Amino acid sequence: MCGARPASLKADPPFPPGSWQFARFKALSVLRRRRDVELDEEAANAIEDTSDDPEVAVTKKDTSEALRECLTGLSREHREIVDLVYYHEKSVEEVAEIVGIPENTVKTRLFYARKKLAELLKAAGVERGWP
C-alpha cells in the first residue's frame, strides 16, 4: 500500500472540520459590531502634540543646511559613499557593487567619512543629534 497513512496520522481532528470557519465568522461579527467611542475633551487634551514648534523647525532647517555644507568638505570618494548609503539607502553590499570596490573598503570609507563629517559639523557649531 503505497499511499496509505500510518495509523498514528489517522487520529480524529480536535475540532469538527467546519468549526474553524464558524469560529472565524463569529470573531469577525464581533469585530464588526464594535462602535468607535468618541473622545471626551479631557482625553483629547491628554494626547501629546508631537509636531515641531517654530523654534525646532528653524533649528532643523539650520542643521540641515550646515550638514549639506559640511558634506562638500568630504573627499569625492567619501561623499559618494555617504550619498549612496544615507540618501539612496543602499546596503554596503550594494554600494560595493555599484562603485566596484570591496565591501570592506566601503565600510572603511564610511567610517572615515563619518569621522570627518563629525569634525566638520563640530567646527561649524552643530551639536550631535537632531532636535
DSSP 27-47: HHHHHHHPPPPPPPHHHHHHS
Domains of the chain: 76-126 (1.10.10.10)
User: 125 in the Ramachandran plot: left (φ > 0), alpha (ψ -120 to 50) or beta?
Assistant: left
> 2: which 3 cell numbers?
503505497
Output the pLDDT for position 15: 61
The identity of residue 18, as a single letter, is G
Report residue 56 CA to chain centroid gap: 23
Output the pLDDT for position 53: 77
pTM surpassing 0.75?
no
Task: Per residue of the chain (131 residues), give pLDDT as tens.
Answer: 555 555 555 556 666 666 667 777 777 777 777 666 666 777 767 776 667 778 877 888 888 888 889 999 999 999 999 999 998 999 999 999 999 999 999 999 999 999 999 999 889 888 776 54
Q: Which of 76, 75, 74, 94 is nearest to 84 (CA)?
A: 94
